[in-house]
Structure 1
Amino acid sequence: MGLAGVDKVRDDIRTPGGPPLPVKVVPVRHPGRWIVSAVLLVLAAMMVNSLLTNPAWDWPTVGEYLFSRRVLDGLVLTVMLTVAAMLMGIVLGVAVAMTRLSGNPVLRAVAWLYAWFFRGTPVLVQIIFWSFIGFLYPVLSLGIPFGPEFVYFDANALIPIVVGGLLGLGLNEAAYMSEIVRAGILSVDRGQTEAAQALGMTRATLMRRIVLPQAMRVILPPTGNQTISMLKTTSLLSVIAVGDLFTTVQLIYGSNYRQIPLLVVASLWYLALTSLLSVGQYFIERRFARSS
């Protein structure tokens, strides 16, 4: 029969001149599943026991610093950097994606080079490069190309360390977002865009009313993943001493030498924030998937 969970059914088997005979259905057994489940439960119990009994985790210290003012200040800065970097990445990513789809070959080439460069070099290198751009160009100026310059800026004052780190994160993110947006736009049936153009829609109206609402179903899931990844990537700013969450716990355990519990504090906050982002991503995706 193949139907698990069914106790009894009646088949067409009949005794001569009598009612149908009851046939007992025996569910298919899966001993492998039970064995794997038992092993996983034992491993989970061992892990919980280790977390509770191993004094090296130092849970009292975790509780002491979990809601400390310094850690919460670093957490707020981490959230702000994540939001700012993602906004920069999304805005520039959409612009680069639209340029990649342009009919101008020069613009397409420039957009392709942008994505090629920023995706091909490590984000850590880009953060350090932008943070210390003053070593390359101490003075930034505005003027006529290859001619006189009229306005001068001190590069270190114009691009401080925090702004340099934000530029490294945002410009790198824009390269990835450009590919995500471009894939979403290309996923929309070309016949719809041709029909809208035949009705006289401008390119801006076409993108706003026809293409982007449908492309969002393709764009949103990877964008949510990129946001969660960006939240954790901000920890790389510790190399330039920005006071984010990870840098803060590094400074704390650098003075009290309690590395493990302070790293647990950072991990718990990262897990909490990524969980919130995942819930928000779920509801946003469900909203844009209503038409399907």
Structure 2
Amino acid sequence: MDLLSDVIAVMRTGEPRSAKIAWRAPWSHWFDPVAGAAGFQVILHGSCWLTRPGHPPLELREGDVVFMAHGQGHTLSSDPASHATGAQTVTLCGAYELDPSRAHPLLLTLPETIHLPARLGIDLRLAIELLSAELTEPRLGTQALVPALLESLLVYILRTWFSAEDSPGWAHALRDPVVASALHAMHQNPAHPWTVATLAAVAGLSRAPFARRFAEKVGQPPLTYLTWWRMTIAAQMLRDTTDPIGVIAGKVGYASEFAFATAFKRQFGLPPGKYRRGQNGGG
């Protein structure tokens, strides 16, 4: 799997939610902040204004998408300068539940609000149109399609953002062929006995320049990131599977269950068995 797919699969919890809403001017609605969530607003018809605490108002036009990566509260409203009444704006809103305890640095470095103008991304437009159609006229299979379309929309939003040349943060790491090669190798085979030297070889650099470049782009050394990612995968398997702890240890690169338990406790503050019981409602 590629890195973005991995990150979404590991962090996602619960079911995504969405709604299609028609507003008549004058109107204003406050969307509460939600910890551990990411949300979006799509302007399907008309225009409106986005207001966020500490930021100037942002005008949104038909086809625009805004993504709130950290669940912050915000207000959508009709044009405060216009006295027209009855003008309609149609929005598509949605929210994703994410695991805040294991927030991937890729998502942590996203800005509070990502604004994607209507001109960006034909694939994003198509995902929006499909989701809007299912919410407007539910049919056979809609309940299965809507969650899948919502997850597709999340991928398209993030893909569009990370593909933009001026995107900061982890976008630089994903566009750097050396760093991206090493990240891909770790995500493709987290159980491999990686060292800085073998990762540098995959990336096509000598050990020291690779380590410096990776730390600069990612924000942490290669093996620190690898351990964090292995423990994140292990936590997901402890929550979502019945695999024995020894099997999980092997899947994330530990030949010894004891060594795995030690590394896991260092990350989470409790041993794997106790973590699993706590996640599944046990003591």
Q: TM-score range by the shorter chain?
A: under 0.3
| Larger relative contact order, structure 1 or 2 (CA cutoff 8 Å, min sep 6) | 1
The TM-score, its normalising length taken from structure 2, stands at 0.22
| Higher radius of gyration, 1 or 2 | 1
**More strand by proportion, 1 or 2?**
2
The TM-score, its normalising length taken from structure 1, stands at 0.21
